[in-house]
Structure 1
Amino acid sequence: MAPSKKSSIITGMLLIALGSYSFINKPGSKDKLATSFAVIELFTSEGCSSCPPADELISKIEKESRGKDIYILSYHVDYWNRLGWKDQFSSAAFSKRQNNYSIWLKLSSVYTPQAIVNGKSEFVGSEEGTLRTAIKKSLSIQSPARIVLSNIKKLGEKIDFRYQIDGIPDNTSLVLALIQKNAVSKVLRGENAGRQLSHVQIVKNIQTIEIRDKHTGEASISIPAEVRGNVEIIALLQKNNTGEIIGAARSPSGISSKNSGVSQKSK
């Protein structure tokens, strides 16, 4: 007996579904949770004459990488402040983070400008070829870890949000950074006296959450009073024992430090 039109349609739909299942799960296909990314952390200072070329380089990389899984964090350290110019963006917390990297990466000292990519490789921050090679290498490596930021709301002088983390090993922390998107400074003293310096992706606040059994939760990060213009949150998953970064995410761009009422899910 010939099959009915209805049974033929159902059979066709089953074949399509089975075909799709075979394609998704065929050997060698990527885990749908796996991600690749590059996190660039630059340690810089307005009091360092070698730093402006590194600042200019990450500004160029930032423009080129919009919409890509490349995350840039520019930390202004405070140990140059004693030489005649206090960097308005500097913080002892950022110098401490750089010192932590010197332990993780087994370095004898810290310096500026220093670039660190995915917490694993470090070099002089103005070396464009080295930076581009490190970015390319990082984007070729898949990580099973994933962060999702959601329900992002600016309430007064802080930003509240939810986070969900998948695929992480033990002994890992969630590092949260509040980023001011850009700024311009007129330097009056020190090694860069008389120069107007432009900055992008300036870290203004950083905090760490220890990840234990609970991989979802709520968090907030405060916005310092001096922050101007648009901000974003960058979230990093970092191994506590090695400093390696195994996951990254960002909030949507366009969160104003002055306007209220932003609620949107991250990419």
Structure 2
Amino acid sequence: MNWTKMKKLAGCVAVAGVAVCSLSLNDVACQTPAAEKHGQQPATGDNKGFALVELYTSEGCSSCPPADQLMEKLQQENAGKPVYVVAFHVDYWNQLGWKDKFSAAEFTARQRQYSDWMNLESIYTPQVVVNGVSEYVGSNERSIVKAIDASLERGTDNALTLTGKADSGKVRVNYAVTGSTKNKTLYLALVQKKASSHVMAGENEGRQLSHVQIVRELIPVDISGKSTTINLPDTLVKEGWELIGFIQNKVNGNITAAAKMN
């Protein structure tokens, strides 16, 4: 796919009664995203289940605020469970008049990779991906909760443990992985727990938007190693961030373990 030839952004459409904003893969206007097309596949192994919930969102998308609110609700309702929420702000809505300060091209690239893995016709916001194998409209609470519950009941091939200590603008992360690591990558997501923005232009002009679990950096590390050091952005205040790690299959996107740093 040649994404450098992308010229036209599509508008908002309704999928199962839920509004989404879609970006076509073929320089045409709206296409309906293939949401909820791919069900989760059973995982093997004796490790306990978990759910990594990835939201793809943007401050420039008028359909995204309900999904951001849902992520906060899911986080509260699953407190104490191995449910890890991460929000990736994409950059392809920035040209509509408002630049999302949390957006990054690498997060858009990650979402595009999912479109390849899942054979989707478009990328869109808000989109939720659960454990790398199933995707949903980001405000579809019923389907997302069902996917989370199913993921918690499944075993996994790997187990991940993270420990570490922050000091002088850096954090030393120690990690341990069990199980096969063939064709897999360990990612560390540096997450800002909360933020808000007063949007001055674009589709959400005049709105005060609240966000949770914003990924500020996504760092691949050597899965065969034991530790790494991460520099903390100056904008992150003490106690305002956390580190979430996950193991992902490079061939099909399946996420086989996740953990939060203690």
Q: Does 1:53 align with 2:66?
A: yes
Cross-structure match for 1:205: 217
The alpha-carbon deviation at position 225 of structure 1 amounts to 2.3
The alpha-carbon deviation at position 221 of structure 1 amounts to 2.2
The alpha-carbon deviation at position 65 of structure 1 amounts to 1.2
Give the Cα separation in 2 of the matches to 1:249 and 1:45.
Answer: 25
The alpha-carbon deviation at position 210 of structure 1 amounts to 4.2
Cross-structure match for 1:147: 160
Query: Which segments of structure 1 move beyond 4 Å, counting only runs of 4 or more?
Result: none
Give the 3-state SS of the residue equivalent to 1:110 in structure 2. Answer: strand
Give the 3-state SS of the residue equivalent to 2:145 in structure 1. Answer: helix
Query: Which residue of 61, 65, 90 corresponds with 1:77?
Result: 90
Q: Does 1:40 align with 2:53?
A: yes
The alpha-carbon deviation at position 223 of structure 1 amounts to 1.8
Q: Does 1:114 align with 2:114?
A: no
Q: Does 1:158 align with 2:170?
A: yes
Amino acid of the structure 1 residue aligned with 2:147: A
Query: Which residue of 220, 226, 247 corresponds with 2:229?
Result: 220
Check 1:183–1:49 CA distance in 2 against 1; reply closer, same or farther (3 A cut). Answer: same
The alpha-carbon deviation at position 109 of structure 1 amounts to 1.6
The alpha-carbon deviation at position 168 of structure 1 amounts to 2.6
Amino acid of the structure 1 residue aligned with 2:236: V
Cα deviation 1:12-35 (Å, max 9, x = unaligned): xxxxxxxxxxxxxxxxxx97x612
Amino acid of the structure 1 residue aligned with 2:196: V
Give the Cα separation in 1 of the matches to 2:152 and 2:233.
Answer: 33
Contact 1:205 1:223 in 2 (8 A): no
Please give the residue correspondences for 1:1-267 in structure 2 after superposition, counting only pairs within 5 Å.
Answer: 34-150=47-163, 152-211=164-223, 214=224, 216-229=225-238, 230-252=240-262
Give the Cα separation in 2 of the matches to 1:67 and 1:191.
Answer: 36
The alpha-carbon deviation at position 125 of structure 1 amounts to 0.3
Q: How many residues align?
A: 218
Give the Cα separation in 1 of the matches to 2:254 and 2:193.
Answer: 25
Give the Cα separation in 2 of the matches to 1:156 and 1:171.
Answer: 35
Amino acid of the structure 2 residue aligned with 1:131: I
The alpha-carbon deviation at position 205 of structure 1 amounts to 0.5
Give the 3-state SS of the residue equivalent to 1:98 in structure 2. Answer: helix
The alpha-carbon deviation at position 102 of structure 1 amounts to 1.1
Identical counterparts, % of pairs: 45
Contact 1:35 1:145 in 2 (8 A): no
Give the Cα separation in 2 of the matches to 1:157 and 1:81.
Answer: 30
Give the Cα separation in 1 of the matches to 2:170 and 2:94.
Answer: 28
The alpha-carbon deviation at position 220 of structure 1 amounts to 2.1
Give the Cα separation in 1 of the matches to 2:110 and 2:233.
Answer: 19
The alpha-carbon deviation at position 49 of structure 1 amounts to 0.1
Cross-structure match for 1:7: none
Amino acid of the structure 2 residue aligned with 1:227: L
Give the Cα separation in 2 of the matches to 1:228 and 1:193.
Answer: 27
Give the Cα separation in 2 of the matches to 1:170 and 1:84.
Answer: 44
Cα deviation 1:193-240 (Å, max 9, x = unaligned): 1111111000000111243xx3x4111222222223511110000000
